[in-house]
């Protein structure tokens, strides 16, 4: 894995060192229930020190003597523990009220609840989770966060196209090998091999092709993974462009480093530079990839 990282990751050694230490914890204010300043005051009273980020509703946890996932404010759904990278993915969806949106792989519900928040609990979200065992966590988070506008379904999103439904926005935070979250889960260093990346990449392309079937003309798809592997990121998007050609336009993501335009001997479409890579040592996030796709 390390040999691969050296091929495409800037300052890979620093990145690996950072991933050995605990990652930064971020919390997102649930503005369906409270404003960011009021949350700051409530948590300050519990001696939880927060720092600001570029997003007004997202805070960095500087110091806490309490488990941040067990305060009464957490239980009441006043905030969600969520990495900055996930918040960026939802920000890039350009969500507004009264839209009809889809989340194709929603567990545990962090991005879904942020979408509901961005929609002010209006319109509708069609949320899909294939893994039945992960449904309770989604229901817990939807309930805790006071989300009204979402329905949750348990099926393989690779058949989403057969629903004959059209959405304004589609979020595909695709199941991946999770290389980017090694700092949170050390087993990710050894839990996969090249064949897993290949299998994951194939499934991701199938899911993404399905996403293009359910988005309205002019609508947006955000494709994201928490993996560094080009096979799960730029390769998937490049393959999609080969299949669908000019019907997909990659729009620039406003954060991170530009995506790769080549990997090994493989050259990608030049617009892959509009995708974004987030690195722990450069962006204080987990490792993450985001592509913003406009469907013509």
Partner 1 sequence: MISYREPTRQELTVLRRSFNHWGIFDYVLDKEILLNERKLNGSKIKEVYLTTKDNFKMILESASLSHIGMLIGHMKRRSFVPSMAGADLIARVGVNFPFVKVNQAAEALVLYGRDIMHGSILDHGNLDKNSTILIILNENRVPIGLGITTVSIGKSFLHKRIVIKTIVDAGYYLRNERWTR
Q: Distance (Å, rounded) from C-alpha 127 to C-alpha 105?
A: 7
For residue 33, state whether it binds partner 1 (rule: CB under 8 A).
Answer: yes
Q: Distance (Å, rounded) from C-alpha 292 to C-alpha 85?
A: 14
Binding residue (CB under 8 A) for partner 1 from 6, 75, 81, 296: 75
The least distance separating partner 1 from the CB of residue 63, rounded to whole angstroms, comes to: 20
Concatenated DSSP letters of 202-239: HHHHHHHHHHHHHEEEEEEEEEEES---GGGTHHHHHH
Q: Which is nearer to partner 1, 79 or 228 (CB)?
A: 79
Peptide bond into 230 cis (omega under 30): no
Q: Which is nearer to partner 1, 1 or 76 (CB)?
A: 76
For residue 169, state whether it binds partner 1 (rule: CB under 8 A).
Answer: no
Tokens read off for 80: 């969600």
Binding residue (CB under 8 A) for partner 1 from 19, 48, 88, 152: 152
Binding residue (CB under 8 A) for partner 1 from 53, 121, 183, 261: 121
For residue 45, state whether it binds partner 1 (rule: CB under 8 A).
Answer: yes
Q: Kind of pairing, strands 167-173 and 100-103?
A: parallel
For residue 66, state whether it binds partner 1 (rule: CB under 8 A).
Answer: no
Q: Is 226 a catalytic residue?
A: yes
How many C-beta atoms lie closer than 10 Å to residue 140's C-beta?
A: 13
The least distance separating partner 1 from the CB of residue 234, rounded to whole angstroms, comes to: 32
Asked if residues 200 and 177 have their Cβ atoms less than 8 Å apart, the reply is yes
Going by the DSSP 8-state scheme, the letter that residue 66 receives in this structure is S
For residue 147, state whether it binds partner 1 (rule: CB under 8 A).
Answer: yes
For residue 142, state whether it binds partner 1 (rule: CB under 8 A).
Answer: yes
Q: Which is nearer to partner 1, 138 or 278 (CB)?
A: 138
Helices (H), the chain: 2-8, 12-20, 36-44, 72-75, 84-91, 110-118, 135-144, 194-214, 234-244, 280-283
Q: Which is nearer to partner 1, 10 or 69 (CB)?
A: 69
Q: Which of 87, 106, 145, 226 is catalytic?
A: 226
Residues that bind partner 1 (CB under 8 A): 33, 42, 45, 69-70, 72-73, 75-78, 98, 100, 121-126, 129, 135-140, 142-144, 146-155, 163, 165
């Amino acid at each position: 894995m390390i040999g691969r990282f050296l091929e495409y990751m800037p300052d890979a050694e620093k990145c690996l060192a950072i991933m050995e230490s605990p990652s930064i914890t971020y919390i997102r204010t649930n503005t369906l229930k409270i404003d960011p300043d009021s949350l700051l005051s409530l948590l300050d009273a519990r001696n939880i020190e927060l720092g600001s980020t570029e997003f007004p509703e997202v805070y960095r946890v500087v110091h806490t003597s309490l488990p941040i996932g067990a305060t009464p404010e957490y239980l009441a759904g006043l905030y969600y523990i969520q990495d900055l990278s996930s918040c960026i993915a939802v920000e890039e969806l350009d969500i507004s009220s009264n839209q009809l949106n889809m989340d194709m792989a929603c567990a545990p519900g962090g991005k879904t609840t942020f979408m509901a928040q961005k929609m002010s609990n209006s319109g509708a979200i069609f949320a899909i989770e294939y893994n039945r065992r992960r449904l309770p966590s989604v229901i817990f988070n939807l309930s805790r966060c006071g989300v009204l506008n979402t329905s949750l379904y348990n099926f393989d999103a690779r058949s989403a196209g057969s629903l004959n439904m059209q959405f304004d926005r589609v979020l595909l935070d695709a199941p991946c090998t999770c290389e980017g979250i090694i700092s949170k889960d050390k087993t990710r260093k050894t839990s996969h091999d090249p064949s897993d990346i290949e299998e994951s990449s194939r499934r991701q392309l199938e899911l993404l092709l399905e996403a293009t079937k359910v988005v309205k003309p002019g609508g947006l798809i955000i494709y994201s993974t928490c993996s560094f592997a080009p096979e799960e990121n730029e390769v998937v998007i490049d393959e999609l462009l080969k299949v669908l050609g000019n019907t997909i336009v990659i729009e620039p993501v406003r954060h991170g480093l530009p995506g790769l335009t080549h990997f090994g001997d493989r050259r990608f479409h030049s617009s892959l530079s509009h995708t974004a890579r987030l690195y722990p040592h450069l962006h204080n996030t987990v490792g993450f990839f985001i592509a913003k796709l406009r469907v013509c």
